[in-house]
Amino acid sequence: MNVLVVVSHSRKDSLTFQVTDHFVQGLAEAGHDFEILDLHGIGFDPVLQGIDEPDFTKEHQVFSPEIEAEIERLKKHDAVAFVFPLWWWHLPAMLKGYVDRVMNNGFAYGSNKLHHQQMLWIALAGVTEEQMQKRNYDESITNLLNVGIANYCGVPQSSVEFLYETLDAQPEHYEALLKQAYQLGLNYGNDIPTP
């Protein structure tokens, strides 16, 4: 399987990038190919401009060159994984902009759907699991990502994995989070039925 790993964090030395590194190590060990798309690294512009606004009156819409290039990138992969810090119980603005602009009408929803069989959302949360569950934030976020985005775009398998307490400074806790990320890569795609 060929997996596009979309990463949203401004710092290369962040835990988000360490998690990404361990996740792709697991992917590689499982025999998958992958490409890491560093949204900050490529200078992705998350702001939706008029040319990329969905036009429901057109059967085939041509988007800006930046978005057409990202659409072509997505087409080359069988599955997608997103790695990001959870900010304000949501996607960071950079990643939200990627979803808004790239997963657009006529490509990801509407007259066409994404061809990907699986989507994984790896969300790094500073809070504990109990804090996340206190007001059903975990359920709300999971529903938004799995149903509101993945299912709406035709992806049959989507899951959200939370890595909790990312602000804990204990080295053994960070090691546990990185091991969790590695296992997610190692097991990615195991639940997709073969045709």
Of the pLDDT bands very low, low, confident and very high (cuts 50, 70, 90), residue 144 is very high
Find the CATH number of the domain harbouring 106.
3.40.50.360
Cβ-based neighbours of 154, under 8 Å, separated by 6 or more: 108, 109, 113, 114, 115
Does residue 89 form part of some domain? yes
> pLDDT at residue 195 above 80?
no
| CA 158 distance to own-chain centroid | 10
| CA 145 distance to own-chain centroid | 9
Task: Report d(CA 186, CA 49) in Å as an integer.
Answer: 38
Q: The whole model's pTM is what?
A: 0.95
Tokens of 94: 């950079």
Does residue 193 form part of some domain? no
Relative to beta strand 33-38, strand 79-85 is: unpaired
> pLDDT at residue 145 above 90?
yes
Determine the structural domain holding residue 149 and report its residue range. Answer: 2-186
Does residue 134 form part of some domain? yes
Does residue 23 form part of some domain? yes
Task: Tell me 105's DSSP state.
Answer: B
Does residue 177 form part of some domain? yes
Does residue 195 form part of some domain? no
What is the number of domains present in the chain? Answer: 1
Does residue 22 form part of some domain? yes
Hey, is 189 helix, strand or coil? coil
